[in-house]
Amino acid sequence: MIPIVNQMLSFSLSEPIPPLLATANEAEYGPIILTAVLLSLVVIYITSKLGGELSKRLDLPPVLGELVGGVIVGVSALHLLMFPENGASAADSVIMTVVQAIGNLSPEAVTSIFNSQSEVISVLAELGVIILLFEIGLESDLRELGKVGYQATIVACVGVVVPFAAGTGGLMLLFNVPAIPAIFAGAALTATSIGITSKVLSELGTLKSREGQIIVGAAVIDDVLGIIVLAVVASLAKTGEVDVLNVIYLIISASVFLIGSILLGKFFNKSFVTIADKLQTRGNLVIPAITFAFFMAFLANAIHLEAILGAFAAGLVLDETDKRNQLDQQVVPIADILVPIFFVTVGARADLSVLNPAIPSNREGLIIATFLLVVAIFGKVVTGWSIFGQAPINRLAIGVGMIPRGEVGLVFAGIGSASGVLSKPLEAAIIIMVILTTFLAPPFLRLAFNEPAEPVESADSAS
């Protein structure tokens, strides 16, 4: 059906291919690419639902289950969902083997289809993370920030600077990791997942406590800081060198882009509502919103920042409109079908077998993973002691509340992995760090608030 494979094999496009000759190739390859994409999506969705539901039953965040599900179907274990950049060939992928059997294909054809299919799934995963950040932007209420203000800002800044400095410095000095991957791994330590912490806090009934308010405020600021850090780090990864002037340029351009979008957004907001009200056809709200998000993502990409920075800015802008709730509701099903593709493929791409403790040569990778985990935990726990001159406050609870990395940590891991700067052990170490911090935070948080470690509510009633 898609006549692209054709052109992939012969790059000379100056002469149109005669229709009947083209047909033979297209009939052979085109529908098969669609078959491979459909089968991959079915595997991804089933994995995400099985993992997410199991995770939820264990009182853990669903996103953790989607990630672990991805690890299980991916290169680390079942080899269902494989990507060529792992050095895998089509024959290593169970999905491609099934597709080959269905289509009765030659090895060359399968290799070409494997590449096309992986490319399509990769772009879908990137559209997924763009929609995810758009949704996070839509849910980040900037007006709320004013209320917690000062303390939350200090906690957020300390929680970004300490893990970043300790992580990057430690990797470079103790483990001789080159600067760029060390900076990337350090940056991955900075994120805080607001979703996981606020869910546990609300279960404990401490969301509205002073500690709870500071944690949530700091996590929102962390999102913003984290995305600026990611934009800077990912650009460094592209150029491959750390140039102080370039770093300054990137920090300024990312900040200007974000702040500028929010300021200009106040004017755009009104036009957006006017446009959505005037449109009379289906999708009158969701299409302009997604178009705006994609356009901002394109713009960020075009000025050499990350696409997700643009999507996040678009979400922040549209969050301020009256249409927010209606839009939220319509974006949910779109996010539901695109975001799992991102989480599952991040898991599937990560080769955790490089950390198998049974193999002696993996020792260094394991030590790095342990080091990252320790920095990830203590780098956030110290944030509680950054609040001075306050009435007695549960400093440990604030610090522990900042531990889980969740979605945003995975965005770092995913983009780092796709950019190719991370060595396999380092990539695996980051994924393990994200999994374990997310896994450990809920029980730790209950302990810090002097609650029993068992879930207060049963899994059923917590839904």
Q: Which of residues 98-117 bind a second copy (CB under 8 A)?
A: 102, 108, 111-112, 115-116
- Does 17 interact with a second copy (rule: CB under 8 A)? yes
Question: CB of 170: closest distance to a second copy in angstroms?
Answer: 21
- Does 361 interact with a second copy (rule: CB under 8 A)? no
Determine which residue in the list 142, 243, 420, 450 makes contact with a second copy, applying CB under 8 A.
420
Binding positions for a second copy, 273-312, rule CB under 8 A: 279-283, 286-288, 290-291, 294-295, 297-298, 301-302, 307
- Could you tell me the two tokens for 176? 């001789």
Q: How far apart are CA 45 and CA 48, in angstroms?
A: 5
- Could you tell me the two tokens for 431? 């994924």
Question: CB of 153: closest distance to a second copy in angstroms?
Answer: 31
Binding residues for a second copy, rule CB under 8 A, total 98
Range in contact with a second copy (rule: CB under 8 A) among 29-37, 152-160, 394-402, 434-442: 29-37
Binding positions for a second copy, 429-448, rule CB under 8 A: none
Range in contact with a second copy (rule: CB under 8 A) among 138-146, 222-230, 395-403, 413-421: 413-421
Determine which residue in the list 2, 165, 367, 393 makes contact with a second copy, applying CB under 8 A.
2
Comparison of 83 and 444: residue with beta carbon closer to a second copy:
83
Range in contact with a second copy (rule: CB under 8 A) among 40-48, 146-154, 195-203, 245-253: 40-48
Question: CB of 117: closest distance to a second copy in angstroms?
Answer: 9
Nearest CA to 437 out of 110, 107, 57, 64 is that of 64
- Does 421 interact with a second copy (rule: CB under 8 A)? yes
Burial state string for 222-240 with b = 16 or more CB within 10 A and e = fewer than 16: bbbbbbbbbbbbbbbbeee
Binding positions for a second copy, 62-91, rule CB under 8 A: 62, 84-89
Determine which residue in the list 56, 79, 210, 323 makes contact with a second copy, applying CB under 8 A.
56
Comparison of 86 and 370: residue with beta carbon closer to a second copy:
86
Q: How far apart are CA 188 and CA 276, in angstroms?
A: 38
Binding positions for a second copy, 191-250, rule CB under 8 A: 237-240
Comparison of 59 and 223: residue with beta carbon closer to a second copy:
59
- Does 93 interact with a second copy (rule: CB under 8 A)? no
Binding positions for a second copy, 320-349, rule CB under 8 A: 330-334, 336-337, 340
Q: Are 215 and 401 in contact (CB under 8 A)?
A: yes
> What would the 3-class secondary structure string for 305-343 be?
CCHHHHHHHHHHHHHCCCCHHHHHHHHHHHHHHHHHHHH
Binding positions for a second copy, 375-394, rule CB under 8 A: none
Question: CB of 289: closest distance to a second copy in angstroms?
Answer: 10
Binding positions for a second copy, 117-176, rule CB under 8 A: 118-120, 122-123, 126-127, 130
Question: CB of 34: closest distance to a second copy in angstroms?
Answer: 5
Question: CB of 216: closest distance to a second copy in angstroms?
Answer: 20
- Does 455 interact with a second copy (rule: CB under 8 A)? no
